[in-house]
Amino acid sequence: MIIAERKPLNEIMDMVKDAKRILVLGCRGCVTICSAGGEREVEILASLIRLGKQKAGQEVTTIEATLVRQCDKEYIDSIDQWDGQYDAIVSMACGVGVNFIANLHPMAKVYPGVNTSSFGGSAEQGVWSEQCAGCGNCILHLTGGLCPVARCAKSLMNGPCGGSVDGRCEINKDVPCIWQSIHDKMVRIDNAAGLAAIAPIRDWSTSGHGGPRKTVRNDLTV
Amino acid sequence: MPFTPNIQAFCCHYTSQQTLAEGPEGLLADGFPKSVTIHRLACTGKLEVSTLLKAFEDGADGVYVAGCPADKCHNLMGSQRAAKRVGAIKKALAELGVEPERIAMYHLERGFHPDFVKVAQEMDERITTLGPSPFQGGTK
Ligand code: SF4
Ligand code: SF4
């Protein structure tokens, strides 16, 4: 899922410094699961915004709401119900939600309430780690299911950089060298030989370097 | 003009048994400050961050939570969870440029204990020194 965390409060307070009526808008998708932008976090952020404004001696009213998703037009349309009732929206969805609101509400001032960081999973309660970078051309079948694009600091395609120590990446000893992990895994599944093949120079155009990516499913379009 | 703080205390059932047994007069006789209003909860682990923030919005100058000793919580992890939430609010208060000491977590023995009165006095003293909450006026 998409992992995010709340932006520093002073950044948010600065975004909304001229707003007197703020719609704080959560999302019930990924950001609810990683406890960044669900209903509970909306309640907390709205309260903190009010306290920040009170401290500055400014008036503010907040509307607290949480949409099923902010990455679908249908759900974004439901923002219409608050038309005329807010000066700014603080979206606590991932960046997709903020973009969708900006796309569909050309006059709305919409601000990000969270930093969208990665695609990851819950390693343990309260800890999430990046697993995939959404590169658009998955090579996990060649690497024992472990991703060097997302999990190697240098996104190397042909084995380790030589900087790892005791199986740990040179950027940080808390990070496993994913190429060490890939090697160990390939030995365990009896496919170490597979690593001998040289991966060709990679075409990164699917990875965002070819411009914004678009997925069209003709079987689903109407 | 002397400042009488408004302090909201959130205590679990176990750490605040004294309040029931002694009643308000008994507590006052023990030296429990008038500035502190007690809210009793089944467990501090159930406390939401938003509930504590609401106390500030409603005019509290200081807020504290009193739960069981961290390793002896009646509900195992309740008071540890509460401590984490208090920590999150301390961080948020600092981000807003407000003294984090305006909120505190105390881990207290269960039942009758002089510490129950002591921490209330400590908060009363601390908040009196800090002065009124910088969050003034304004409602939702
Ligand atoms: S190879 Fe690309 S798509 Fe596959 S896991 Fe890694 S980043 Fe994600
Ligand atoms: S030590 Fe391993 S994970 Fe770190 S950059 Fe080098 S190859 Fe990549």
What tens digit of pLDDT does each residue of B44-84 get?
Answer: 999 999 999 999 999 999 999 999 998 888 888 999 999 99
- Identify the pLDDT of residue B113: 79
Mean pLDDT, chain B, rounded, equals 91
What tens digit of pLDDT does each residue of A74-85 get?
Answer: 999 999 999 999
- Beta-carbon count within 10 A of B129 CB: 10
Chain B residues with CB under 8 Å of A49 CB are none
Helix then strand then coil, in percent of chain A rounded to 5, is: 35, 20, 45
What tens digit of pLDDT does each residue of A175-203 get?
Answer: 999 999 999 999 999 999 999 999 999 99
- Identify the pLDDT of residue A33: 95
Q: How confident is the model at residue B1 (pLDDT cuts 50, 70, 90)?
A: low
- Identify the pLDDT of residue B138: 38
Q: Is the pLDDT of residue A222 over 50?
A: yes
Closest atom of ligand 1 relative to the A133 alpha carbon = 7
CATH of B7-113, one of 3.40.50, 3.90.640, 3.30.70, 3.30.1490: 3.40.50
pTM for the structure as a whole: 0.90
Q: How confident is the model at residue A145 (pLDDT cuts 50, 70, 90)?
A: very high
Query: What is the three-class DSSP state of B43?
Result: coil
ipTM for the whole complex: 0.85
Q: Is the pLDDT of residue B7 over 90?
A: yes
Task: Please name the residue whose Cα sits nearest to atom 8 of ligand 2.
Answer: A152
What tens digit of pLDDT does each residue of A6-57 get?
Answer: 999 999 999 999 999 999 999 999 999 999 999 999 999 999 999 999 999 9
Q: Is the pLDDT of residue B140 over 90?
A: no
- Identify the pLDDT of residue B72: 85
Ligand that comes closest to the CA of residue A158? 2
When pLDDT is averaged across residues B96-124 and rounded to a whole number, the result is 93
- C-alpha of residue A162 to centroid of ligand 2, in Å: 7
- Beta-carbon count within 10 A of B82 CB: 28
CB B93, CB B65: distance < 8 Å: no
pLDDT above 70 covers what percent of chain A? 100
CA B33 to chain centre: 13
Cβ of A149 closer than 6 Å to ligand 2, yes or no, is no
- C-alpha of residue A175 to centroid of ligand 2, in Å: 9
CB A81, CB A89: distance < 8 Å: no
Query: What is the three-class DSSP state of A21?
Result: strand
What tens digit of pLDDT does each residue of A96-116 get?
Answer: 999 999 999 999 999 999 999
Q: How confident is the model at residue B139 (pLDDT cuts 50, 70, 90)?
A: very low
Domain extent listing, chain B: 7-113
Q: Which of B48, B49, B96 sits opposite A51 (nearest CB)?
A: B96
Structural tokens at position A97: 């939600």
Q: How confident is the model at residue A216 (pLDDT cuts 50, 70, 90)?
A: very high
- Identify the pLDDT of residue A154: 97
When pLDDT is averaged across residues A56-67 and rounded to a whole number, the result is 96
Q: Distance between CA atoms of B51 and B33, rounded to whole angstroms? A: 23
Q: Is the pLDDT of residue A58 over 80?
A: yes
Strand spans (E) along B45-133: 62-67, 103-107
Cβ of A158 closer than 6 Å to ligand 2, yes or no, is no
